[in-house]
Amino acid sequence: MNWERLLAPYRRGSKGSDISKHRSRFEQDFDRIIFSFPFRKLQDKTQVFPLPEEDFVHTRLTHSLEVSSVGRSLGRIVGETIISKHPTLANQKVSAHDFGVIVAAASLAHDIGNPPFGHSGEEAISEYFMSEKGYYFKDHVTADEWSDLVNFEGNAQGFRLLNSKSLNLSYPVLGSFTKYPRWSFIEKRDKGRRSQKKFGIYSSEIMLFEEIADQLGLIKLGDGAWCRHPLSFLVEAADDICYHIIDLEDGCTLGLIDEETTSKLLSDIVGDKFDENKYNQIPTKRERIGMLRAMAINKLVSQATQVFLSKEEEILAGDFDESLIDRCESSNTLKKIIDVSIDKLYRSRQVLEIEAAGFEVISGLIDQFAKALYQVNHGNPTSREKVLWQLLPEFVRINSKTASKYLMLRNCLDYISGMTDSYAISLYRKITGMTTPGY
């Protein structure tokens, strides 16, 4: 792979008419994402904790903004060195700022495909189709399509959303977004490659990704799998840095992790720059932990960029396929943070309650709407199923009329996975009769 091709600012169907004197295509991409409807809905989607009344913790929206900020720093730092090593990039008018904006835009969108209720929402969708109720659809789709349905993946859903006509992002941003450039149904994934840990492309977007991979010059690893775009390693690192550090901070804020444990873990990352006397002079716990959080993120940004730059040639050759954070000096401390987070945060009562609600609500909504959509288009609907069909958004009803049964289900999942937590709960209560509108 080569940087000139990886960074060429093209997008599908573009002939240069959308080039602005004031904004690069990558800046246009960033703005398109931040003004998009799917991104705005992240404000009411669970990151880890349900929103408590007494204090503020992160939603998918605030998390995404922070990941984007860290991603911009990672991209700019890496870009400065890459441009100095590859003079031809200057002739292409590529700047370190471009590196930063590409990573920032892809980072901004990294969770855009996640359903309500965090990761339990993904599991609820997958488990529905593996249940007795959802298994009904298996005979109506291909084996490849069924693999998509029983393995709902937020990354693949995000790629689907970002390829909508209203966004039409540039190839470098789409490539950097795709941390898992493979289909769901490849015969044998390479477990030694980080990029094959999950999948990032549904059957419905295979041709789109093949076009993107061809334009960017991504190395093909076999049927249904490619090497990552190099900048996707920075997107992944930005996400890893933020969720490790910020989840820990949220846990301390909520009193689930004590300050002593939190400060010890963060100060181990900060290293020699940690001044205990200065730390103790800060009046509140929130400010003390906030200072340490900022210093820890700054240190991890420095470590991640050092790893990336030391592995640049291997990345371009497709030989390096690991998490940058796993190679950082602070990797052992980050593993300790994960252990503490699993024990104290992810298994806490608040989190388990929202996960339980997610399974009930998401599976209930799919069962109601997917069957109504199928019966109206391909069966003999009951009066209730006709009413449920009318409740579906126009884009789902219209796009499903002539679509295959797989795409019909995909459209239905676009609607349900795109819901906010609050709307999903409210709608589920209404259609099941738990609450009655107007009463």
Structure tokens at 24: 């690069």
Which residues are 220's β-sheet partners? 226
Structure tokens at 431: 């259609």
Superfamily of chain region 3-8+23-115+142-226 = Hypothetical protein af1432 (1.10.3210.10)
Nearest to 195 by CA among 180, 183, 184: 180
Report which DSSP code applies to 167. Answer: T
pLDDT score recorded for residue 187: 76
Architecture in CATH of 233-347: Orthogonal Bundle (1.10)
pLDDT score recorded for residue 59: 81
End-to-end CA distance of the chain: 61
Q: Taken in order 144, 168, 240, 218, is the CA torsion positive or negative?
A: positive
Tally of CB atoms within 10 A around 18 = 13
Structure tokens at 238: 């930005």
Q: Which residues, other chains included, contact 317 with Cβ-Cβ below 8 Å and sequence gap of 6+?
A: 1
d(CA 209, CA 204): 10
Beta strands in 100-224 (DSSP E): 220-222
Give the predicted TM-score (pTM) of the model: 0.93
pLDDT score recorded for residue 149: 95
pLDDT score recorded for residue 22: 77
Nearest to 219 by CA among 227, 229, 209, 208: 227
Element (H, E) at 267: helix 259-270
C-alpha to C-alpha distances, 111 to 65, 115, 117, 210, nearest whole angstrom = 11, 9, 13, 22
Nearest to 220 by CA among 177, 171, 180, 181: 181
Element (H, E) at 225: strand 225-226
Structure tokens at 270: 């900060």
- The amino acid occupying position 289 is I
pLDDT score recorded for residue 155: 95
- The amino acid occupying position 159 is F
Per-domain boundaries in the chain: 3-8+23-115+142-226, 116-141+348-439, 233-347
Burial call 269-296: b when 16+ CB within 10 Å, e when fewer: bbeeebeeeeeeeeeeeeebbebbbebb
Collapse the DSSP code of 299 into the 3-class scheme (helix H, G, I; strand E, B; otherwise coil) and give the result.
helix
d(CA 413, CA 411): 5
Q: Are 258 and 347 contacting, i.e. CB atoms less than 8 angstroms apart?
A: no
pLDDT score recorded for residue 49: 61
Structure tokens at 434: 């738990």
Superfamily of chain region 116-141+348-439 = eoxyguanosinetriphosphate triphosphohydrolase domain-like (1.10.3550.10)
Burial call 422-438: b when 16+ CB within 10 Å, e when fewer: eebbebbeebeeeeeee
Radius of gyration of the chain (CA): 23
Which residues are 183's β-sheet partners? 201
pLDDT in tens, the chain (439 residues): 999 999 999 988 775 555 666 788 999 999 999 999 999 999 888 766 655 554 566 788 999 999 999 999 999 999 999 999 998 898 888 999 999 999 999 999 999 999 998 788 899 999 999 998 889 899 999 999 999 999 999 999 999 999 987 788 999 999 999 999 999 888 788 888 999 999 999 999 999 999 999 999 999 998 899 999 999 999 999 999 999 999 899 889 888 899 999 999 999 999 989 888 898 899 999 999 999 999 999 999 999 999 999 999 999 999 999 999 999 999 999 999 999 988 888 777 777 877 888 888 999 999 999 999 999 988 889 999 999 999 999 989 888 888 899 999 999 999 999 999 989 999 999 998 877 665 5
- The amino acid occupying position 389 is W
- Same fold yes or no, 3-8+23-115+142-226 and 233-347: no
Element (H, E) at 386: helix 383-391
Tally of CB atoms within 10 A around 320 = 22
